[in-house]
Amino acid sequence: MVGNGAREHALVRALTADPAVAAVHAAPGNPGIGGAACLHDVDPMDPAAVAALAVRLGVGLVVVGPEAPLVAGVADAVRDAGVPCFGPSAAAARLEGSKAFAKEVMAAAGVPTAASRTCDEEDQVAAALVEFGAPHVVKDDGLAAGKGVVVTDDTAAALAHARACLDRPGGRVVVEEYLDGPEVSLFVLCDGRHVVPLVPAQDFKRVGDGDTGPNTGGMGAYSPLPWAPDDLVDAVVATVAQPTVDEMARRGTPFAGVLYCGLALTARGLRVVEFNARFGDPETQVVLARLASGLGGLLLAAATGRLADHPPLVWHDTAAVTVVVASAGYPGTPRTGDPVTGVEAAEAVPGVHVLQAGTAWRDDVLVSAGGRVLSVVGTGPDLAAARATAYAGVAKIGLAEAQHRTDIAAAAVQGRTSAPVF
Ligand code: AMP
Ligand code: GLY
């Protein structure tokens, strides 16, 4: 496992629960991952170092969690060293690494997405903002750790964000039409040709309750989506995932790994908001909490072009909710170094498990070491029960001036989320 977040902790937890997996190693991992896997102090951004570690350990599969190592070519280096790797090549990871490239692929594949203009100059941006009108959507073309998108009614703020992106060497922005409607994340496993969808989830990107404040990497998630249309997964596979995988193969850069389809269900139909080339965080935490069949063989099948032969996935008939506990200051500069308590007490609550992200050991004390610190997961027979369980777990956590949202999955539980009929 390459990475050190709560998503990687969720993946490691699911892999260690799979009887087909003998052992799990992580580079570099974190204190929570260290409870289940052997940790190696290897830079996840160094393709040669990751490949050398995989060869030295003789592992049967490398799983790359975050996008930055994928864009840096870690999966290519691992495969070149003869080790199967779950994660796209650098060329295929451009679906996430460049929003302009993703738009070009979607246009070629006929995939429904927001109308957009890719701009190198400020006057192109100004023209596109007029063309699409408010609310304005301005996206940094490159990777920005979830902070590259500004959605605003304020034209001056939209232009200022564009200027900041354009001022960087090689800076480009994508300006697009605003998509109105509930968002869904669907992870689709791909082996270059075939696709296997997981179950949909919804995440909460804004830092504050009621979707207020700045965007974050994600403050919580839930699955299933009781309000979503029954044919949603089939529709995403047919109109989004398979055409995209076909187009990437046609270009000679087949996509193998997980295609994260970020979607908006608008009155005019489903539209792609974004593609990512890796599992989402925190949606992975809730999706994997519901997966009953083994993860190891599934990821290996995707990595080795054998998804078509893989048996159907089995899902628990349960719901899962995760609430992220973040440091004070996040998503700005987070306060770190504070003791984190209550992880064991939270896990003593039936149906709770705690996944770690920004944590570290200081002597023998678990301390905060990043913006998103923990992802507390609750499972239950339905969404209301899973939500109550997750918050019962959060109540056990101690972290000075921590912040968490109190409304994760609340609207869905109360029947306040609905999908347009199309
Ligand atoms: P992205 O990094 O492209 O997923 O954008 C981050 C978030 O910004 C998305 O999850 C949406 O909430 C919002 N967003 C992005 N594009 C649009 C759009 N065209 N219309 C409305 N909201 C958007
Ligand atoms: N959940 C948002 C992301 O992983 O980008």
pLDDT above 70: residue 159: yes
Q: Which amino acid appears at position 298 of this protein?
A: L
pLDDT score of 168: 86
Q: Is the peptide bond before 28 cis (omega within 30 degrees of 0)?
A: yes
- Ligand 1 center–CA 116 separation, angstroms: 13
Rounded to whole angstroms, the Cα distance separating 360 from 150 reads 32
The residue whose CA has the least distance to atom 16 of ligand 1 is: 273
Q: Is the pLDDT assigned to residue 422 strictly greater than 70?
A: no
Percent of the chain with pLDDT over 70: 99
How far, in Å, is the centroid of ligand 2 from the Cα of 266? 20
Which residues are within 8 A (CB) of 85 and not within 5 positions of it... i.e. 6 or more apart? 61, 62, 63, 64, 74, 75, 78, 79, 303
For range 180-192, the mean pLDDT = 97
- Mean pLDDT for 343-365 is 97
Q: Side chain identity at 338, as an amino acid letter?
A: D
Cα–Cα distance, 407 to 101 (Å, whole number):
35
At 18 the pLDDT is 97
Q: What is the pLDDT of residues 229-288, one digit of tens each?
A: 999 999 999 999 999 999 999 999 999 999 999 999 999 999 999 999 999 999 999 999
Instruction: Point out the ligand nearest to the CA of residue 180.
Output: 1
Which of ligand 2's atoms lies nearest the C-alpha of 283? 1
- Structure confidence at residue 143 (pLDDT): 82
Pocket probe mutation, ligand 2, options 147, 149, 205, 323, max atoms within 8 Å of Cβ: 205
- Mean pLDDT of the 297-302 span: 98
345 Cα: distance to centroid of ligand 1 (angstroms): 36
φ, ψ of residue 307 to 5 degrees: the values are -65, -30
CA distance 295 to 41: 25
Helix (H, G, I), strand (E, B) or coil at 82: coil
What integer pLDDT is reported at residue 144 of this predicted model?
Answer: 75
Query: Helix 283-290 vs helix 6-16: angle between axes, to the nearest 10 degrees?
Result: 10
Rounded to the nearest angstrom, the distance between the alpha carbon of 139 and the centre of ligand 1 is: 8
Q: What pTM was estimated for this model as a whole?
A: 0.95
Please determine, for residue 132, whether its predicted confidence score (pLDDT) is greater than 80.
yes
Pocket probe for ligand 1: among 151, 176, 184, 204, the residue whose CB has the most ligand atoms within 8 Å is: 151
How many Å apart are CA 166 and CA 143, to the nearest integer? 14
Above pLDDT 90, what percent of the chain? 94
Pocket lining for ligand 1, CB < 6 angstroms: 114, 137, 139, 149, 151, 176, 178-179, 183, 205, 215, 262, 273-274
Nearest CA to ligand 1 atom 3: 274
pLDDT digits (tens, 9 = 90+) for 366-421: 999 999 999 999 999 999 999 999 999 999 999 999 999 999 999 999 999 888 76
* Residue-level pLDDT at 146: 62
- Report the alpha-carbon distance of residue 66 to residue 70 in Å, rounded: 7
Which residues surround ligand 2 with Cβ inside 6 Å?
Answer: 146, 203, 218, 276, 280-281, 283
- What residues contact residue 265 under an 8 Å CB cut-off, 6+ apart? 181, 182, 183, 184, 228, 229, 232, 419, 420, 422
Mean pLDDT of the chain: 96
In the reported structure, the alpha carbon of residue 312 is separated from the centroid of ligand 1 by a whole-number distance in angstroms of 32
Q: 289: part of which helix (H) or strand (E)?
A: helix 283-290
Q: Per-residue pLDDT averaged across 87-99, rounded?
A: 95
Burial class (CB in 10 A: 0-12, 13-18, 19+), 26: buried
| The one-letter amino acid at 189 | L
pLDDT at 148: 86
pLDDT in tens, 21-77: 999 999 999 999 999 999 999 999 999 999 999 999 999 999 999 999 999 999 999
* Ramachandran category for residue 197: left, alpha or beta (phi over 0 → left; psi -120 to 50 → alpha): beta
Q: Is residue 202 classed as helix, strand or coil in its secondary structure? A: strand
Residue 145 has pLDDT above 80, yes or no: no
Q: Which atom of ligand 2 is nearest to the CA of 279?
A: 4
Atom of ligand 1 nearest to the CA of 99: 3
Nearest to 393 by CA among 401, 404, 178, 382: 404
pLDDT (tens digit per residue) in 309-330: 999 999 999 999 999 999 999 9
